[in-house]
Structure 1
């Protein structure tokens, strides 16, 4: 979640990935996909609209 919400600040997102190298592992990538899917559901309901593009990328 921390990484997903930091996507609007690329330098912060890069720092999060550096501090938590597990995000690049298979389990981390699966967790990232899950969080993105969950947040995209909130976008569909009208929340977190600014995150839609970064989440889809």
Structure 2
């Protein structure tokens, strides 16, 4: 899965937005930003973890 495919699937499934590494000529990586209120940021890791669990079972 490319970084773009990963980031697209993540935002569609969870609403969590990462930037694909391919946007910086660094395929295989993602960029995480911290530009939301604390309450939103605290929910992100749990949502990403659940997403990773689900794609691991495909």
TMscore range, shorter length: 0.3 to 0.5
Q: Tell me the TM-score normalized by structure 2.
A: 0.41
TM-score, length-scaled by structure 1: 0.41
Higher relative contact order (CA 8 A, sep 6+): 1
More strand by share: 2
